[in-house]
Amino acid sequence: MHSSTSNFERSIPALPWQGLLVGTLLLTAIATVAWEIRARAWGYAPALNDTSDLWADQRTAVQPDSVVVIGDSRALFDTDLDAVEQGLGHRPIQLALVGSCAYPVLENLANDESFHGTVIASLIPLMWLAPQPAPPYQNSLKAIQRYQRRNVAQRASHHLGMILEEHVAFMKQEDLTLEQLLKRIDIPNRASFHAPPALPPYFQTIDRDRRTRMTEATAKPGPLQDRVKYGWLPLFTPPPPPSYVPPEAFAKFMGESIEKRFADTVAAVKKIQARGGKVVFVRFPVVGPLKEHEDKLTPKAGPWTRIIAETGAPGIYFSDHPELMFDCPEWSHLSAADSVEFTKRLVPHLKTALAQ
């Protein structure tokens, strides 16, 4: 007996399929070109996305004696790789991450028994001491996990994607996806909802070495610079304690977390030093109300001084050296041109620190 489905036939309607295919392809092409034109009109340009895969490429490139830059976005924007290479004789590996706590990256290098190179670490105390549940810590952890776990298919997808990103302006995953565009809708705060601080928009370019440069539009006074500038204070203001956690318990948790971070930082630095490696902490330029805000929350005599003292690592604090004091157009990062000059002036201080 035949199955009841064995004689099933699906009829295909008699439609002009060839014409429909051509029409669909044509409409797709028109929509793609229109979106590309729109993105470029907004000021976007072909540039790589700073993904965890791009970071993992650079982490893979670390050799036992490499010079490695770790930290936050200031180390990313303000460090010119060519100038460091000319000054120190080694091209640095750029492992700094936007909006991140650099401690997990330092720990990762410290636990790499083959590494005995040099670490140039940007130290913003508010970021460095961020607890594990906080986004800055998780940003670094996400990149490290991608480096440790990515497979061949993910590597291939990443490298194919880079080819498109270098030629197409609208491929900005942090700005121009539907999810990110929906986040731009201004929703007022209410009793059960408080909007998180807005992240800065696209205002930089990055290459395959992760050399990052501020766009010209951001370096000049205008709406884009203002949008970036006035977004920093909310982002650098610690959120209030959760309402469901007793204040005493939250204060205890934060105190223990900070003390553990100090101890863990010392242990990580000592591991690298014990293998003949070097660690240098750098405080990159910051200006205006943002500098005042950071100085108030974490003055130089606080976490910075303690970390330098307890690790025994040298530190370079920009405001201690007049030649390292630069203006940051949006308070937090140097322009592309100033980042080159700043790095050239920083190199002699790095040489002195590494000779200790």
The runs of H, that is alpha helices, within the chain are: 17-41, 52-60, 73-78, 81-88, 103-110, 125-128, 135-149, 152-165, 178-183, 216-219, 223-229, 232-235, 247-274, 288-297, 303-311, 336-354
Give SS3 for 118. strand
Q: What are phi and psi of 282, to 5 degrees?
A: -130, 135
Can you give the pTM of this predicted structure? Answer: 0.85
Measured between alpha carbons, how far is 45 from 42 in angstroms, rounded to an integer? 9
Distance, CA of 145 to CA of 173 (rounded, Å): 20
CB atoms within 10 A of CB 84: 22
Task: Please list the ranges in the chain whose pLDDT falls under 70.
Answer: 1-8, 178-187, 189-197
Burial level of 40, CB count in 10 A (0-12/13-18/19+)?
A: middle
- Calpha distance 74→71 (Å, rounded): 8
Distance CA 336, CA 341 (A): 9
| Of 284, 330, 305, 343, nearest in space to 71 by CA | 284
pLDDT at residue 7, as a whole number: 63
Residues 281-308 pLDDT 10s:
999 999 999 999 999 999 999 999 999 9
The pLDDT value recorded for residue 259 is 96
- For the chain, the structural domain boundaries read 52-184+203-354
pLDDT at 191: 60
Q: What is the pLDDT of residue 171?
A: 76
The pLDDT assigned to 194 comes to: 59
Whole-number pLDDT of residue 33: 86
Q: Over 31-70, what HEC string results?
A: HHHHHHHHHHHCCCCCCCCCCHHHHHHHHHCCCCCCEEEE
Write out pLDDT tens, residues 310-337: 999 999 999 999 999 999 999 999 999 9
| pLDDT value at residue 19 | 86
pLDDT for residue 238: 80
Per CATH, the number for 52-184+203-354 is 3.40.50
